[in-house]
Structure 1
Amino acid sequence: MAGPLHPHARGDRKTVKAVLGPTNTGKTHLAIERLCAHSSGAIGFPLRLLAREVYDRVCAIKGAQNVALITGEERIEPKNARWHLCTVEAMPSRPDLAFVALDEAQLAADPERGHVFTNRLLNTRGREETMLLGSATLEPMVKALVPEAEIVTRPRFSTLTHTEPKKLSRIPPRSAIVAFSAEQVYAMAEMLRRFRGGAAVVMGALSPQTRNAQVAMYQSGEVDYLVATDAIGMGLNLDVNHVAFAGLSKYDGHRRRRLTTAEMAQIAGRAGRHHKDGTFGALAGMGGHDPEFAPEEVYAIEEHRFPPLTRLFWREAEPRFDSLNILIEDLESPPFRPELATPPKAIDLAVVKRLAEDPDIADTVRGRGSVQRFWQACSLPDFRQQGVETHARFVAKLWQDLRRGHLGADYVAQAIAHLDNPSGDIDTLQGRIAAIRSWSYIAQRPDWVLARDEMAARARAVETRLSDALHGRLTERFVNRRTTVLMRKVGGDAGLLPVRLSDAGTVLVDDEPIGHLEGFRFIVDPLARASDRKLLLAAAERHLPALLDRRAEALAGDARLDAAEQAKALHLDAGRIRWHEETVARLDRGKTLLTPRLSLEPALAALPPLARDKVERALSDWLVRKLASPLAPLRKLEAVGSASESGPALRALLLHLIEAGGVLPRDEAKLERLDAAQRESLRKLGIRVGTFDLFVPAFLKPRALALWAMAADVRGLPHPPVPSDMPPVIAGKRAPLGYRRFGVQALRVDLVEKLLQAAHGSRMGARAKRYYLDPALARSMGLSTASYALLLRQAGFRVAIGRPLGEGAFGPPSPPLWDWRPPRPRPAETARPSVVAGNGAFAALAELIR
């Protein structure tokens, strides 16, 4: 209910800071630095585009697993996220957050959304620091409503200067032209396409993805001009030198009015970024409708002097839900401070009042929970911008399903699929994007939609496809791709067109992209007009052999470089040789496991024969060098195993050892078939005969095992998983290659022998029949006591647990003592009752071993 500020809104002057100033003062950058300096926090932005941009920046600093993005249409919330980037409406109300910031806080004076910003300004606080960012016009309101705040003003980094009006044909490059209707935006962009090559288009009705794509086209220099509505004034950091106003008045939803000087400055401030100065001015040649800045407006914009705000809009943020009438009464209640004003009728309140007048709907809203759920449905934003009546009908249909529970997944999926149509003109696609944004918002509600994650992902995918299509339509309409000019220049002879390959692999015809090379495959540009496609493809086919020949030379050259340089371009991945991340060859079965054969990708068949042979020889030599050092220990075994003088038993053992990856269980080795000379050969080859396994210690390396596994996969040999590194112990139910499993842990085979050597050393040095084995070495490897005991028992050691202390006796318990008997085959033992009394640690160990 209306009343004083919430208790947690108050704090000392050090906890709340208002950072005020014009555009390009680094306020948002400062807030990001302060957010990252705290253990947790959140920043509320006016646009989801801004929230997404800052989310990507914070993820790069803190890691994506620690950062959340929360907007009406998108929620990325890792389980342990501590830093939150949100739209203002979606900001979490959590007193445990150390830092909270509100961006563009002067929007509390906006008639449509101002009450949300005012509520955050008054009541949302960080545990350690709160930051309010906004225009200097907000200063009086901060002093009145947040007297504990420390006010910091920041000057603009660069100067903003007014210039005389210019015609559109004389507007300098790297300029933005601002209009205030879609028709005027299209007209400006069409004229720029005709005599300046084209323009990017930015409007508030575009989806963030389309807007980003258009801005990227401008930022990359593909076009030198940007045509935009006043949506450019917030959330876009652009390389703009000059802002030209095609008008100075707009329709605000109620009437046509002249822009305020603060609104003019917000738009003009896009010119010049950081320490680069910018200019602004009006557009001339508008047929008697030329906009003109008044001298006092120019002075105000250049000097950043604007009338201070005298009131902020406020609405009860926590209305009662006892009934629809009480809800409406609370939402229309007057403010509790003279600095606050009741906002004009917002769309959500208008929808509530409109539906409350319908008895068929009002009768379904009974009870506190039902009223609250109905208000949440009415709060669905009007993304379609079609007015109260149309939006109320959509909400009414939604409520008929919501009041019975969740929306069915089939119903939501069908609604989303209905909009998944990338055909149509610009206006049609904008309408579909607005509609899919409504379903994206609906799909984010966990209490509205079954299979929320799946439906939200589908809605995002459809919005992405529609946005891509809209970007294509805008580019096609307002950017001259010069292909028709090329046709007029050369007629029908495609051979006259100059074709070259860019460093990025793009195939250019007279500097116009017509496709790109992926490895040695030519992919046609999907945006090439059908009428131009035949000519451009003919030009590409005429020149492609020469382009591919040069590319083959580059590949062969990279294959001949030393290992350090090769790693930048060539590498092996899952049986494929990849060059700059494109597959150029694959491994096939060779004569032996360790000598796989190389097969070129079919795309390289387009190479001239000499170039193809050169590439194949270079890659074959590269593969031999790549495998030589890691597989050398097994290659020695292969060489001896192929010699007839080695004898059948040794040859079979070595072949078996190679096919097992250098580690073979001893009970499969059939060592009894080897004579003394053959056993000596094993030693000379570096093969260690262990208690449980035969293995090659020099081959127990991650790189060597990975290459062996790749060769085994090519040959179709099954094998255990290969570890990415070689830690002493790995937990799991299946032992990786090079490990032996003891209970729930697997120990590297060379360390198995190290532990057993230490145990036998203790045995040999003991004077008594039973002796103590210190588990410290095993624990230092990460092996548990139970796994260590199991290892010892399998190696022939037996444990004896000391008797428990008698009643009344004190002192440490007797440690377990071991003795050893060479293991020999014997029938399975029957279960024996435990002979250890008590419930101490040694009794538990004895029970575990038993």
Structure 2
Amino acid sequence: MTSNPEGSRIKAVLGPTNTGKTHLAIERMCAHSSGAIGFPLRLLAREVYDRVVAIKGEAQVALITGEERIEPPGARYFLCTVEAMPLRSTVRASGDDGSLAFVALDEAQLAADRERGHVFTDCLLHARGREETMLLGAATIEPLVRSLVPEAAIESRPRFSTLRHIGARKLSRLPPRSAIVAFSVEQVYAVAEMLRRYRGGAAVVMGALSPETRNRQVAMFQSGEVDYIVATDAIGMGLNLDVTHVAFASLTKFDGVRQRRLIPAEMAQIAGRAGRHQTDGTFGTLAGIKGPAPEFSEEEVYAIEEHRFAPLTKLFWREAQPRFDTLATLIADLEASPDRPELAPAVEAIDLAVLKRLAAEDLADGVKGPGMVRRFWEACSLPDFRQLGPDVHARFVARLWQDLRGGYLGADYVAARIAELDRVQGDIDTLQGRIAAIRSWAYICQRPDWVLARDEMAARARAVEARLSDALHGRLTERFVNRRTAILMKTLGTDPALLPVSLAQDGNLLVEDEPIGRIDGFRFSVDHSASHDDRKMLLAAGEKALPRILSERAETLIASDMADVSIAGGALHWEGHQLARIEDSGDPLDPRLDPARELGFLPEAARARLMAALSQWLAAKLSPLAPLAKLAEAAKNPAAGSQARALLLNLLAGHGVVARENAGIEHLPKEMRPFLRRLGVTFGALDVFAGALLKPAPRTLLHALGRDRRPVHDTMQPVIEAGRRLPAGYRSVGRQAVRVDVGEKILRAAHQTRAEKAKRRFVLDPALAISTGLTPESWRKLLAAAGFRYQPARQLAEGAFGPPAPGTWQWQPGRNRKPPTKPAAKVPANSAFAALADLKVP
């Protein structure tokens, strides 16, 4: 419905949220040669500033708030907070020289606000554009606009989408893209903490945030990084968000005087954030916090859904152009009553409260004359960004006035105050306190006649606020956002193939760059830093992605020709984890592989390909055991005879080495020895062994396969130091151990010398033994074990000269045989056991 008095240049566009009022004002302003829009929040002013800059360019657009002033020399479009609108002080009637072509006031119904209403009322009554003026607000202000601005054309705009009540919902049942509204910092934090725990987190928006922090928090929500936003009722002041549902954590608030229930119009202003343009929205309350869930009455639901609210009956007013003759005159004008019935005297705001407190103190004695009184009032009008109340704020203003009374604040003094706040350490509350304090100094630095080097100081204050804002955003995100959980909450119900899980080079399993665990080998483990509540979800996400990830990992391993796969402890290992156990199949070159439990997550086809590739790789690695395989095959041959097969089985049990006394060689027919020698078997004086299996490769393999539990020597040196447990293939000779084939070589040389000398006693040359590393003592112990007896030479007589005679050796093989069994003692004839002695064992 439109009421358009002829010739009117003032238009009031009224209606609920999501009617496009602000968008219309932006379009109308950009269609004029110049213009300004006043907003209730600097956050909203900043948002619209960015939009207009995109249309008109930075050189033509200005942003003016209490703490920030971006004003290019040729600016023609001004986006301001209502208190900072240049129209209030420079242009108070249409047609004045230098006036702007277009002026708009957003959220005009805030003229009924106790704290700031008088500022909105002043703009509504006096701020005019040369060509067009727009008053934007809720329909509740329509009767007062008709009365106070009768020349205005009233245009009612319907909401683009419907708003529907869906009752109370627990956090676990909140739909995605929801905004939860709370009315205290403590409640905002509590709700955000629970959302982090159960739904991955939330963005946080409060009026005390700097524009940079607020924009980055909103950007997280708008981009879908988080599906929830927790905010104070500042969200109702035109912040454009893609919200589908608004949940009220409470329906009461403290309005500066008392705790009261929201009126339906306030509820609707907040609930109206749900649904944008043609998208319908819902609203309700939040259950399961503390105590019973808040509930809307049927009348409140009807009013919100149908946009029917009681009209405003009064707007707050305060003299906008008081007299500055004396402090008493100024206070009297500020406390004066309006002369129209539609207006009510403004409640004492904090600026007036500070003025009255300081006017009663000694520091006000020197405030004389209109210029000084005006300057004193401007100091008292410093906003209380820290929200500490009139008493504390008055002390800050008093300290400020002591410096301002004499002229300007010194640049060094302001720089020092700003530097004190330039610290990004601390928790959320600490950083918010510093941001509030730096906002005060940013406001002070914006005043044209308060600070020397104003532009430099203002830039410093903005830079500190930006750094603090970045730090605050980081703390908020760290505390209230679990990005990993948020991503998983969105994707766990989808097709596993679409789950955004990837494997990093370092083995971390990532969901959109957020770690959910690690994969070592083919074993998945949940991120150790995850909370108990998150572990199940991370495990479920990992297991959904494992078939695909592990299949890719298996193919990569196969393509690398089993790079970094090792054999140890009777199993195949990769990246420190077991792939498969190696089971004995009877064929040393073709063992059986038992896959590890972790390979069970591989799809069957991928697991079969991997096991086949592992078997092929292992077969190639086992080639040094070919001599052992020949022995095993011969042991199965019936033609070898039972005695030869028994010896072969002893050799297989000893993995290629068996002591001669344990080999059963005394039962082996001599005609079978050539057959065994062709298999590589050596019949030594002390040991029977397969020489090919005494090399490092087969000995290391046998140990790694778990076949030979004895220690293994990596290089199989001829002689090593003896220990408590000898490596496989060695024989102890005192403090040293000699490899059995090397020991046999030394013994054969001794027998050859004995045969050549053909004497009972003979001399042996130790050169061969010493060249292998044996000491003379160890050499003698080796020969003694083989039946050689050493006879030291006689010492030279006293006074004789010349080399001593060498010691001699004598071969006495019987000395190494076991002593004969002692005959059984005779039983006395009169013994009770005498009869048993004659019994014969059948």
Shorter-chain-normalised TM-score: which range? Answer: 0.5 to 0.7
Q: 1:149 to 1:481 in 2, by over 3 A?
A: closer
Q: Secondary structure at the match of 1:417?
A: helix
Q: Aligned equivalents of 1:77 and 1:259: distance in 2?
A: 38
- Indicate if the aligned counterparts of 2:484 and 2:511 stay in contact, CA closer than 8 A: no
**Aligned 8 A contact 1:180 1:229 in 2:** yes
The alignment of Structure 1 onto Structure 2 pairs a total of residues equal to: 497
**Contact 2:487/2:511, CA 8 A, preserved across alignment:** no
Asked if residue 44 in structure 1 is aligned to residue 46 in structure 2, the reply is no
Match of 2:282, SS? strand
Question: Deviation of residue 125 (structure 1)?
Answer: 0.7
Quickly say closer, same or farther: Cα 1:320–1:509, change in 2 above 3 A: farther
Shift in Å, 1:85: 1.1
Does residue 271 of structure 2 align to residue 268 of structure 1? yes
Amino acid of the structure 2 residue aligned with 1:206: L
1:137 and 2:140 matched: yes
* Structure 1 contact 13–149 (Cα < 8 Å) conserved: no
Match of 1:122 in 2: 125
**Aligned-pair CA distance for 1:169:** 1.2
Q: What letter corresponds to residue 433 of structure 1 in structure 2?
A: I
Contact 2:201 2:486 in 1 (8 A): no
Aligned partner of 1:420 in structure 2 is 422
| 1:342, distance to aligned residue in structure 2 (A) | 0.7
What pairs with 1:43-192 in structure 2 (closer than 5 Å)? Answer: 43-93=37-87, 94=91, 95=96, 96-192=99-195
Distance of 2:220 and 2:486 partners within structure 1: 21
CA deviation string 1:744-763 (max 9, x = no partner): xxxxxxxxxxxxxxxxxxxx
Deviation at residue 14 of structure 1 after TM alignment: 2.1
Tell me the distance in 2 between the aligned counterparts of 1:508 and 1:240: 34
Does the residue aligned with 1:19 lie in a helix, a strand or coil?
A: strand
Q: Per the alignment, in what secondary structure is the counterpart of residue 377 of structure 2?
A: helix
Distance in 2 (CA, whole Å) between partners of 1:137 and 1:484 is 40
SS in 2 for 1:192: helix
State the one-letter code of the partner of 1:280.
F
Query: Counterpart in 2 of 1:357?
Result: 360
Deviation of 1:189 after TM superposition, in Å, equals 1.1
Give the aligned partner of residue 771 of structure 1. Answer: none
Shift of 1:513: 3.0
In structure 2, relative to structure 1, the CA distance for the partners of 1:438 and 1:508 (3 Å cut) is farther
SS at match of 2:426: coil
| Match in the other structure for 1:499 | 503
Cα gap change, 1:128/1:166 in structure 2, threshold over 3 Å: closer, same or farther?
Answer: same
Gap change, CA 1:29 and 1:223, over 3 Å in 2: same
| 1:499–1:508 contact (8 Å) kept in structure 2 | yes
Structure 2 residue 440 is matched with structure 1 residue 446: no
Query: Quick one: structure 1 residues 409 and 113, their matched pair in 2 at CA, closer, same or farther if it must change by over 3 Å?
Result: same
Whole-angstrom CA distance in 2 between matches of 1:59 and 1:234? 21
Which residue matches 1:434?
436
Q: 2:25 matched to 1:31?
A: yes
In structure 1, C-alpha distance between the alignment counterparts of 2:57 and 2:487, rounded to whole Å: 48
Conserved in 1, the CA contact under 8 Å of 2:144 and 2:342?
yes
The residue number in structure 2 matching 1:298 is 301
Is contact 1:101-1:133 (8 Å) kept?
A: yes
Query: Could you tell me which residue of structure 1 aligns to residue 391 of structure 2?
Result: 389
Q: CA deviation at 1:55?
A: 1.3
Counterpart of 2:452, as a letter, is: L
Superimposed CA distance per residue, residues 449-486 of structure 1 (whole angstroms, 9 cap, x where no aligned partner): 11111111111111111111111111111112449999
Q: Which residue pairs with 1:740 in the alignment?
A: none
Q: TM-score, normalised by structure 2?
A: 0.57
Contact 2:442–2:458 under 8 Å retained in 1: yes
Task: Provide the C-alpha distance between the structure 2 equivalents of 1:366 and 1:108, rounded to a whole number of angstroms.
Answer: 33
CA distance in structure 1 between the partners assigned to 2:459 and 2:435 by the alignment: 15
In 2, distance between residues paired with 1:333 and 1:13? 34
Separation of aligned partners in 2, 1:12 and 1:334: 33
CA shift, 1:288, in A, is 3.3
Give, in whole Å, the separation in 1 of the partners of 2:410 and 2:511.
52
TM-aligned CA deviation for residue 530 of structure 1: 11
Q: Could you list the per-position Cα deviations for residues 723-771 of structure 1 after superposition, in whole angstroms to 9, with x for gaps in the alignment?
A: xxxxxxxxxxxxxxxxxxxxxxxxxxxxxxxxxxxxxxxxxxxxxxxxx
Query: Aligned-pair distance for 1:364?
Result: 2.2
Q: Is the 8 A contact 1:481 1:512 kept in 2?
A: no
Query: Which residues of 2 match residues 761-772 of structure 1 at below 5 A?
Result: none
Deviation sequence 1:382-437 (CA, Å, 0-9, x none): 00000000000000000000010011111111101100111101111111111100
**Superposition pairs of residues 480-519 of structure 1, within 5 angstroms:** 480-482=482-484, 498-499=502-503, 510-513=510-513
Amino acid at match of 1:63: G
Instruction: Give the superposition deviation at 1:74.
Output: 1.1
Paired AA for residue 48 in structure 1: R
2:317 corresponds to 1:314: yes
Amino acid at match of 2:265: A
Question: CA, structure 1 residues 531+22, in 2 after alignment: closer, same or farther (shift >3 Å)?
Answer: closer
How far apart are 1:302 and its partner, in Å? 0.2
Native 8 Å contact 2:285 2:293 kept in 1:
yes
- Contact 1:174–1:239 at 8 Å: present in 2 too? yes
Deviation, 1:275, is 0.5
Deviation by residue 1:154-203 (Cα, 9 ceiling, x = unmatched): 00000000012111111111111111111111111111111111111112
4+ residue runs of structure 1 moved beyond 6 angstroms? 483-486, 528-532
User: Which moved further from structure 2: 441-450 or 184-193?
Assistant: 184-193
- CA deviations on 1:115-164 (whole Å, 9 max, x unpaired) are 01101110111111111000000100001100011100000000000012
What's the % identity of the aligned pairs?
75
Gap change, CA 1:375 and 1:480, over 3 Å in 2:
same
Query: Which runs of 5 or more structure 1 residues have no equivalent in the other structure?
Result: 1-10, 487-496, 502-506, 516-527, 533-542, 547-850
What displacement does 1:267 show? 0.6
Q: Deviations over 1:267-317 (max 9, x none)?
A: 100100001000001122244331010000000000000100101000000
CA distance in structure 2 between the aligned counterparts of 1:348 and 1:109, rounded to whole angstroms: 18
Which amino acid is the alignment partner of residue 46 of structure 1?
P
Conserved in 2, the CA contact under 8 Å of 1:13 and 1:150?
no
**8 Å contact 1:200–1:218 — kept in the other structure?**
yes
Q: Does 1:409 align with 2:411?
A: yes
Quote the Cα distance in structure 2 between the aligned partners of 1:514 and 1:269. 35
| Distance of aligned partners of 1:269 and 1:508 in 2 relative to their CA distance in 1, 3 Å threshold | farther
Q: Partners in 2 of 1:416 and 1:12 — Cα distance?
A: 55
Residues in 1 aligned to 2:76 and 2:6: alpha-carbon distance in whole angstroms = 24
- Distance apart, 1:509 and its partner CA: 5.1
In structure 2, the CA distance between the partners of 1:531 and 1:256, relative to structure 1 (3 Å rule), is closer
Provide the rounded CA distance (Å) in 1 between the counterparts of 2:422 and 2:33.
42
Secondary structure of 1:44's partner? Answer: strand
Larger Rg: 2
Deviation at 1:54, TM superposition (A): 1.2
Distance 1:107 1:220 in 2: 31
Alpha carbons of structure 1 residues 68 and 253: separation in structure 2 relative to 1, 3 Å: same
- Matched residues in 1 for 2:530 and 2:427: separation? 19
Counterpart of 2:249?
A: 246
Matched residues in 2 for 1:128 and 1:108: separation? 24
User: Separation in 2 of the partners of 1:373 and 1:358?
Assistant: 17
Instruction: Return closer, same or farther for 1:90/1:508 CA change in 2, 3 Å cut-off.
Output: farther
What amino acid does structure 2 have at the position aligned with 1:499? L
Alignment counterpart, residue 329 of structure 1, candidates 332, 339, 344: 332
Q: Counterparts of 1:436 and 1:154 in 2: how far apart (Å)?
A: 40
- For residue 398 of structure 2, what is the amino acid of its counterpart? A
For the 8 Å contact 1:322–1:367, the answer to whether it is kept is yes
Q: What pairs with 1:526-565 in structure 2 (closer than 5 Å)?
A: none
The answer on whether the counterparts of 1:443 and 1:456 sit within 8 Å (CA) in structure 2 is yes
TM-score normalised over the length of structure 1: 0.56
Residue identity matched to 2:353: A
Structure 2 Cα separation of the partners of residues 498 and 131 of structure 1: 54
Secondary structure class of the residue paired with 2:180: strand
